[in-house]
Structure 1
Amino acid sequence: MASLFQKNIQELKGVGEKRSRLFAKLGAPTVGALLRTYPRDYEDWSQPVPLAQAPAEQACVVRVTVVSPVSEQRIRSGMTLYKLRATDGRHDVQITFFNNPYTKNLLLEGKEYLLRGKVTGSFLRREMTSPDFMPADRLLPLRPVYRQTAGLTSRQISAAVRAALGMLPNPLPDPLPEPMRRACHLCSLRFALENIHFPRDRESLEQARRRLIFEELLVLQLGLLRLKSRGRQQTSLRLEVDASAEFFRSLPFVPTSAQKRAVAECIANMRGDYPMNRLLQGDVGSGKTAVAAALCHSAIASGMQAAFMAPTEILARQHYETMRRFLEPFHLNVALLTGSVPAAKRRELLAQLRQGSIHLLVGTHALLNETVEFRQLGLVVTDEQHRFGVAQRAALTQKGDHPHILVMSATPIPRTLALMIYGDLELSVLDELPPGRQKTETYVIDSAKRARAFGFIRKKIDAGRQCYIICPLIEDSESDMASVTQYAKDLQEKWFFANTVGVLHGRMRPAEKDRAMEEFAAGRTDILVSTTVVEVGVDVPNAVVMLIENAERYGLSQLHQLRGRIGRGTEKSTCILVSDAQNEEALKRLRVMCETTDGFRIADEDLRLRGPGDFFGARQHGLPELRIADMSADFALLQLAQGEAKELLVHDPAMELPEHRGLRAEVRQLFSALE
Structure 2
Amino acid sequence: MSSLFGKPIDTLKGVGKKRAELFAKLGVPTVGDLLRFYPRTYEDWSQTIDIEETVANEVNVIKAEVLATPSEQRIRGGMILYKTTVADESGEMQLTFFNNPYIKSLLYAGKTYLFRGKVSSGFIKKEMTSPDFLPESRNLPILPVYPQTQGLSSRMISDAVKQALLLLGETVKDPLPAELRQQYELCHLSFALENIHFPKSEQELATAKTRLVFEEFLVLQLGLMKIKSRRKENNVHLVSSQFPDEFAELLPFELTGAQKRAIQESIDDMAGKTPMNRLIQGDVGSGKTAVAAALCFAVIKSGKQAAFMAPTEILANQHFNSLQVLLEKCGIKVELLTGSVTPKNKKRIAEELIAGEIDLLIGTHALISETVAFKNLGLVITDEQHRFGVGQRSALAQKGEHPHLLVMSATPIPRTLALMIYGDLDISILNELPPGRQKIETFLIDSGKRRRAFGYVQKHLEEGRQGYLICPLIEEGESELTSVTAYAKIVAAFFPKNTIGILHGKMKAKEKEQVMQNFAKGELDLLVATTVVEVGVDVPNAVIMLIENAERYGLSQLHQLRGRIGRGKHKSTCILVSDSQQEDTIERLKIICSSSDGFKIADADLKLRGPGDFFGKRQHGLPQLKIADMMSDIEILKKSQECARQLLESEEIQEEPYRFLRAEIRLLFSKSQDLTFN
Query: Which category describes the TM-score, using the shorter chain as reference length?
Result: 0.7 to 0.9
- Give, in whole Å, the separation in 2 of the partners of 1:483 and 1:62: 46
- Give, in whole Å, the separation in 1 of the partners of 2:312 and 2:551: 25
Q: Is the 8 A contact 2:240 2:267 kept in 1?
A: no
Aligned residue in 1 for 2:637 = 638
Aligned residue in 1 for 2:596 = 597
- Give, in whole Å, the separation in 1 of the partners of 2:229 and 2:155: 44
1:661 is aligned to 2:665: no
Q: 1:482 to 1:55 in 2, by over 3 A?
A: closer
| The 10-residue stretch of structure 1 (417-426 or 542-551) with the greater mean CA deviation from structure 2 | 542-551
* Structure 1 vs Structure 2 CA RMSD: 3.5
- Give, in whole Å, the separation in 1 of the partners of 2:546 and 2:127: 54
Q: Is the 8 A contact 1:502 1:528 kept in 2?
A: yes
- Give, in whole Å, the separation in 2 of the partners of 1:59 and 1:454: 43
Aligned residue in 2 for 1:529 = 527
Q: 1:427 to 1:89 in 2, by over 3 A?
A: same
- Give, in whole Å, the separation in 2 of the partners of 1:144 and 1:47: 16
Gaps of 5+ in 1: none
1:52 is aligned to 2:52: yes
Q: Deviations over 1:347-393 (max 9, x none)?
A: 11111111111111111111111221111111111111011112112
- Give, in whole Å, the separation in 2 of the partners of 1:526 and 1:132: 55
Compute the displacement of 1:75 (Å).
Answer: 8.3
- Give, in whole Å, the separation in 1 of the partners of 2:436 and 2:283: 16
Q: How does 1:413-432 map to 2 (within 5 A)?
A: 413-432=413-432
1:4 is aligned to 2:4: yes
Aligned residue in 2 for 1:491 = 495
Aligned residue in 2 for 1:310 = 310
Aligned residue in 1 for 2:229 = 229
Q: Is the 8 A contact 2:516 2:537 kept in 1?
A: no
| The 10-residue stretch of structure 1 (394-403 or 221-230) with the greater mean CA deviation from structure 2 | 221-230
Compute the displacement of 1:30 (Å).
Answer: 1.3
Q: Is the 8 A contact 1:485 1:503 kept in 2?
A: no
- Give, in whole Å, the separation in 1 of the partners of 2:480 and 2:415: 39
Q: Deviations over 1:64-95 (max 9, x none)?
A: 45677x6897989x999998876534545676
Q: 1:556 to 1:465 in 2, by over 3 A?
A: farther
Q: Deviations over 1:168-195 (max 9, x none)?
A: 0321111112222122111111111111
Compute the displacement of 1:305 (Å).
Answer: 0.9
Q: 1:130 to 1:472 in 2, by over 3 A?
A: closer
Q: Specify the code of the residue in structure 2 equivalent to 1:660.
A: Y
1:357 is aligned to 2:357: yes
Aligned residue in 1 for 2:25 = 25
Aligned residue in 2 for 1:434 = 434
Q: Specify the code of the residue in structure 1 equivalent to 2:645.
A: K
Q: Specify the code of the residue in structure 2 equivalent to 1:293.
A: A
Q: Is the 8 A contact 1:117 1:131 kept in 2?
A: yes
Q: Is the 8 A contact 1:241 1:298 kept in 2?
A: no
Q: Is the 8 A contact 2:472 2:483 kept in 1?
A: no
| The 10-residue stretch of structure 1 (358-367 or 144-153) with the greater mean CA deviation from structure 2 | 144-153
Aligned residue in 2 for 1:269 = 269
Q: 1:121 to 1:258 in 2, by over 3 A?
A: closer
Q: Deviations over 1:622-648 (max 9, x none)?
A: 322211112221111111112212222
Q: 1:358 to 1:488 in 2, by over 3 A?
A: farther
Compute the displacement of 1:31 (Å).
Answer: 1.2
- Give, in whole Å, the separation in 1 of the partners of 2:569 and 2:341: 36
Aligned residue in 2 for 1:575 = 574
Q: 1:120 to 1:560 in 2, by over 3 A?
A: closer
1:372 is aligned to 2:376: no
Aligned residue in 1 for 2:622 = 623
- Give, in whole Å, the separation in 2 of the partners of 1:480 and 1:401: 47
SS in 2 for 1:575: strand
- Give, in whole Å, the separation in 2 of the partners of 1:455 and 1:80: 54
Q: Is the 8 A contact 1:7 1:32 kept in 2?
A: yes
Aligned residue in 2 for 1:284 = 284
Q: 1:120 to 1:518 in 2, by over 3 A?
A: closer
Q: Specify the code of the residue in structure 2 equivalent to 1:415.
A: R
Aligned residue in 2 for 1:188 = 188
- Give, in whole Å, the separation in 2 of the partners of 1:111 and 1:184: 47
SS in 1 for 2:423: coil
Aligned residue in 2 for 1:670 = 668
Q: Is the 8 A contact 1:59 1:116 kept in 2?
A: yes
- Give, in whole Å, the separation in 2 of the partners of 1:472 and 1:46: 44
Q: 1:457 to 1:156 in 2, by over 3 A?
A: closer
- Give, in whole Å, the separation in 2 of the partners of 1:146 and 1:502: 45
Q: How does 1:62-461 map to 2 (within 5 A)?
A: 62-65=62-65, 87-89=87-89, 91=91, 112-118=112-118, 131-240=131-240, 242=242, 244-450=244-450, 452-453=452-453, 456-457=456-457
- Give, in whole Å, the separation in 1 of the partners of 2:70 and 2:575: 65
Compute the displacement of 1:162 (Å).
Answer: 1.4
Q: Is the 8 A contact 1:466 1:526 kept in 2?
A: no
SS in 2 for 1:62: strand
- Give, in whole Å, the separation in 2 of the partners of 1:489 and 1:92: 57
Compute the displacement of 1:240 (Å).
Answer: 4.2
Q: How does 1:465-504 map to 2 (within 5 A)?
A: 466-472=465-471, 478-479=482-483, 482=486, 484=488, 487=491, 490-493=494-497, 501=499, 503=501
Compute the displacement of 1:396 (Å).
Answer: 1.5
SS in 2 for 1:167: helix
| The 10-residue stretch of structure 1 (216-225 or 427-436) with the greater mean CA deviation from structure 2 | 216-225
Compute the displacement of 1:591 (Å).
Answer: 2.4
Compute the displacement of 1:333 (Å).
Answer: 0.9
Compute the displacement of 1:298 (Å).
Answer: 0.7
- Alignment length (residue pairs): 660
Compute the displacement of 1:405 (Å).
Answer: 0.9
Q: Is the 8 A contact 1:468 1:528 kept in 2?
A: yes
SS in 1 for 2:248: helix
Q: Specify the code of the residue in structure 1 equivalent to 2:198.
A: F
Aligned residue in 1 for 2:476 = none
SS in 2 for 1:166: helix
Compute the displacement of 1:661 (Å).
Answer: 2.2
Task: Give the alignment's TM-score, normalised by structure 1.
Answer: 0.87
1:35 is aligned to 2:35: yes
Q: Specify the code of the residue in structure 2 equivalent to 1:203.
A: Q
Compute the displacement of 1:147 (Å).
Answer: 1.9
SS in 1 for 2:168: coil
Task: Give the alignment's TM-score, normalised by structure 2.
Answer: 0.87
Q: Is the 8 A contact 1:465 1:526 kept in 2?
A: no
- Give, in whole Å, the separation in 2 of the partners of 1:487 and 1:90: 58
Aligned residue in 2 for 1:546 = 545
Compute the displacement of 1:345 (Å).
Answer: 0.8
SS in 2 for 1:170: coil
- Give, in whole Å, the separation in 2 of the partners of 1:262 and 1:572: 29
1:562 is aligned to 2:561: yes
Q: 1:414 to 1:125 in 2, by over 3 A?
A: same
- Give, in whole Å, the separation in 2 of the partners of 1:625 and 1:20: 22
Q: Deviations over 1:289-324 (max 9, x none)?
A: 111111111111112111111111111111111221
Q: 1:66 to 1:294 in 2, by over 3 A?
A: same
Q: 1:10 to 1:482 in 2, by over 3 A?
A: closer
| The 10-residue stretch of structure 1 (59-68 or 475-484) with the greater mean CA deviation from structure 2 | 475-484
- Give, in whole Å, the separation in 1 of the partners of 2:590 and 2:229: 43
SS in 1 for 2:15: coil
Percent of residue pairs bearing the same amino acid type: 54
Q: 1:157 to 1:510 in 2, by over 3 A?
A: closer
Q: 1:88 to 1:353 in 2, by over 3 A?
A: same
Q: Is the 8 A contact 2:520 2:539 kept in 1?
A: no
Q: Specify the code of the residue in structure 1 equivalent to 2:149.
A: T
Aligned residue in 1 for 2:521 = 519
Q: Specify the code of the residue in structure 1 equivalent to 2:661.
A: L
Q: 1:476 to 1:88 in 2, by over 3 A?
A: closer
| The 10-residue stretch of structure 1 (290-299 or 319-328) with the greater mean CA deviation from structure 2 | 319-328
